[in-house]
Amino acid sequence: MDNLSDALKKLKITTTDSTADSLEGCLDCLLQALAQNNMETSEKIQKSGVLQVFGSLLTPQSSCTAKVANIIAEVARNEFMRNPCVDAGLIPPLVQLLNCKDQEVLLQTGRALGNICYDSHEGRNAVDHAGGAHIVVDHIRSLCSKTDPASEKLLTVFCGMLMNYSNENDTLQSQLINMGVIPTLVKLLGIHCQNAALTEMCLVAFGNLAELESSKEQFAYTNIAEELVKLFKKQIEHDKREMIFEVLAPLAENDVIKLQLVEAGLVECLLEIVQKTVDSDKEDDVAELKTASDLMVLLLLGDESMQKLFEGGKGSVFQRVLSWIPSNSHQLQLAGALAIANFARNDGNCIHMVDNGIVQKLMDLLDRHVEDGNVTVQHAALSALRNLAIPVVNKAKMLSAGVAEAVLKFLRSEMPPVQFKLLGTLRMLIDAQAEAAEQLGKNVKLVERLVEWCEAKDHAGVMGESNRLLSALIRHSKSKDVIRTIVQSGGIKHLVTMATSEHVIMQNEALVALALIAALELVTAEKDLENAQLVQILHRLLSDDRSAPEIKYNSMVLICALIGSEPLQKEVQSMAFLEVISKLRSHENKTVAQQASLTEQRLAVES
């Protein structure tokens, strides 16, 4: 340590009167001390004020430059030294050194800048201000095709420097993307895939950049999918595959890249991993099973990639995914159900799957999760059934297969995501299915649960779906019994509130249901309609210029039905409806204008 103190003293006066030899000796002494105890030596260097001297020693002409850069790289491994390096003005001379031809100087300079940038906002700003990133990107571009060890070492350092420079910083990542770094790095990965260190750096850099939307567009124009899949196939170790997964997941959010990954054979790799890990309880295997099956589901979110893997329902991938549903692994059950939900995104696929027995598989899966079941599996299976119920031809088939009964077993669920999907599935099933709508609408337990969920203010989705199902039961059954059940369960006020929804489709569904109630069971519902202030709401909807034409039309149809009730008719008369409706006779929508004339006549007769 005495030698170190001497060396630091000599270095302080070095710029004025020191020979190159004595300078070299001092620098060697510092490097040796740093190798023995980096943190302690770095503290001494900082206290001595030598950092300021280093700036003047960083000249391309000096034989000591590489050693000085090396010392800066070593001290900057300590977090507390990064800002002092910036404050000592070391960034501009270091960036200038990036223009020199000496490989050792470039290597140590790249290390120094990379370490100063690591987790340091000030370091990154200083490098950005000095234009360092641009020079490094140019170096990578020119060295890209060279496979000699020295060039590969330099490429590894430069990739690491860019990684530290842009990590978790959207602005600097965008800057690198605009410099065109992505195609260069993809090319680099292809040429140097045998070099583990360089490959690793490329992957971390990709992981950094792939989160940005603008990067995905650039990645889509390269052969990144092919390169990553090629690299993936070679990997035996978990952690190496995990690094590739971390790049694949954000990239696979882009539909173009999804298809490229499917075409490059990623799915086969994923299926192989699932097969190898499904029966293992090792932590790494369990994690990899989840990652692989999740990624598989993500690839199916793209329309083209999904259709390519469906192959008319005959595809081997589709068949393998089907085999996941009866599996004993919750993760595979979940992925299998989500995959079916993703395959069920067009009528052709849905019809094929229902005709080939997928519904029974999903109901069996749900059966395994009724008591204390896995919520995510319940949610996924219900999502798949909901999607399958969309085509008209599937509804009756699914109802006769017992889907409604299977779904109703989850009425007791207290989990909003499950409640939401349960409601959506039932609503899809009864669309234009009068008999099923009547059967469900007379189910007091169901209707009471719907009324309860109509008040679930913390869960807007559940509340909205409950209202819509309540309305659908009336609209599709047109049944007096159903209306009576809903009145007795206290559902009327919710349908009236639904008529004021911000969504036109929900307003409309409510108004049509209320019109049916008024036409079929006005006496039964009269009191509830009055208490819910329906007449006042209709007056507001008709007076509001922002109301959609179909809302105005259905509101007038409803008014005509309501005047069959004495107390409701009195309310209508007391609210000057004629004035509002006479204005609507000149409405630009002809149907609204015609209905306004009819309504005006009815009101005039009744008054």
Cα distances (Å, whole numbers) of residue 301 to 1, 44, 258, 504, 573? 63, 57, 8, 29, 55
Note the pLDDT tens digit of each residue in 153-169: 999 999 999 999 999 89
Average per-residue pLDDT in the chain?
91
Predicted confidence (pLDDT) at residue 572 exceeds the cutoff of 70: yes
CA 572 to CA 606: how far, in whole Å? 10
CA 208 to CA 198: how far, in whole Å? 15
pLDDT of residue 108: 96
Q: Using an 8 Å Cβ cutoff, are 195 and 149 in contact? A: no
313 burial level (CB within 10 Å; 0-12, 13-18, 19+):
middle
Concatenated DSSP letters for 394-430?
HHHHHHHTTHHHHHHTTTT---HHHHHHHHHHHHHHH
pLDDT more than 90, % of the chain: 73
Q: Which architecture characterizes domain 306-432 according to CATH?
A: Alpha Horseshoe (1.25)
CA 195 to CA 243: how far, in whole Å? 15
- The dihedral of CA 15, 17, 23, 29: what is its sign? negative
Note the pLDDT tens digit of each residue in 494-509: 999 999 999 999 999 9
CA 229 to CA 28: how far, in whole Å? 46
Could you tell me the two tokens for 574?
Answer: 């007391």
- For the beta carbon of residue 461, count every other beta carbon within 10 angstroms: 15
122 burial level (CB within 10 Å; 0-12, 13-18, 19+):
middle
pLDDT more than 70, % of the chain: 96
CA 571 to CA 556: how far, in whole Å? 15
pLDDT of residue 208: 86
312 burial level (CB within 10 Å; 0-12, 13-18, 19+):
exposed
Buried b (16+ CB within 10 A) or exposed e, 101-116: eeeebbbbbbbbbbbb
Note the pLDDT tens digit of each residue in 466-491: 999 999 999 999 999 999 999 999 99
What is the pLDDT confidence band of residue 19, given thresholds at 50, 70 and 90? low
- E strands, 439-555, are none
Mean per-residue pLDDT, 555-565:
92
Q: Residue holding tokens 């009547």?
A: 438
CA 357 to CA 365: how far, in whole Å? 13
* CATH code 1.10.10 for 537-606: yes
- The dihedral of CA 411, 414, 418, 421: what is its sign? positive
What is the pLDDT confidence band of residue 1, given thresholds at 50, 70 and 90? very low
Same-fold call for 306-432 versus 537-606 = no
Mean per-residue pLDDT, 208-226:
90
Q: Using an 8 Å Cβ cutoff, are 407 and 422 in contact? A: yes
Q: Using an 8 Å Cβ cutoff, are 161 and 119 in contact? A: no
Q: Using an 8 Å Cβ cutoff, are 169 and 127 in contact? A: no
Expressed in angstroms, the distance from the first to the final Cα of the chain is 108
Find, among 287, 239, 285, 291, the residue nearest to 266 by Cα: 291
* Higher-scoring residue by pLDDT: 70, 21: 70
Note the pLDDT tens digit of each residue in 263-275: 999 999 999 999 9
Angle at 99 between CA 93 and CA 101, to 5 degrees: 120
CA 309 to CA 262: how far, in whole Å? 8
Mean per-residue pLDDT, 24-38:
87
Note the pLDDT tens digit of each residue in 440-475: 999 999 999 999 999 888 899 999 999 999 999 999
Angle at 12 between CA 10 and CA 18, to 5 degrees: 55
Predicted confidence (pLDDT) at residue 379 exceeds the cutoff of 70: yes
CA 343 to CA 303: how far, in whole Å? 9
Q: Using an 8 Å Cβ cutoff, are 106 and 125 in contact? A: no
575 burial level (CB within 10 Å; 0-12, 13-18, 19+):
middle
CA 440 to CA 265: how far, in whole Å? 47
Buried b (16+ CB within 10 A) or exposed e, 70-88: bbbbbbbbbeebbebbbeb
In the DSSP assignment, the letter for residue 313 is: G
Could you tell me the two tokens for 128?
Answer: 């950005």
- For the beta carbon of residue 213, count every other beta carbon within 10 angstroms: 9
> What are the residue ranges spanned by the domains of the chain?
306-432, 445-532, 537-606
In the DSSP assignment, the letter for residue 311 is: G
Q: Say which range, 40-49, 129-138, 380-389, 515-524, has the weakest mean pLDDT.
A: 40-49
CA 509 to CA 507: how far, in whole Å? 6
Q: Using an 8 Å Cβ cutoff, are 457 and 433 in contact? A: no
Note the pLDDT tens digit of each residue in 195-210: 999 999 999 999 889 8
Helix (H) or strand (E) holding 604: helix 590-606
Mean per-residue pLDDT, 137-147:
94
What is the pLDDT confidence band of residue 20, given thresholds at 50, 70 and 90? low
Q: Using an 8 Å Cβ cutoff, are 514 and 552 in contact? A: no
- The dihedral of CA 257, 258, 261, 263: what is its sign? negative
Predicted confidence (pLDDT) at residue 21 exceeds the cutoff of 70: no
Note the pLDDT tens digit of each residue in 104-116: 999 999 999 999 9
Q: How many CA atoms lie within 13 A of 509 on its CB side?
A: 23
- The dihedral of CA 493, 498, 499, 501: what is its sign? positive
Q: Using an 8 Å Cβ cutoff, are 61 and 101 in contact? A: no
Note the pLDDT tens digit of each residue in 293-319: 999 999 999 999 999 999 888 888 899
Buried b (16+ CB within 10 A) or exposed e, 401-416: bebbebbbbbbebebb
Find, among 48, 49, 112, 52, the residue nearest to 82 by Cα: 112
Find, among 558, 472, 556, 469, the residue nearest to 520 by Cα: 558
pLDDT of residue 6: 65
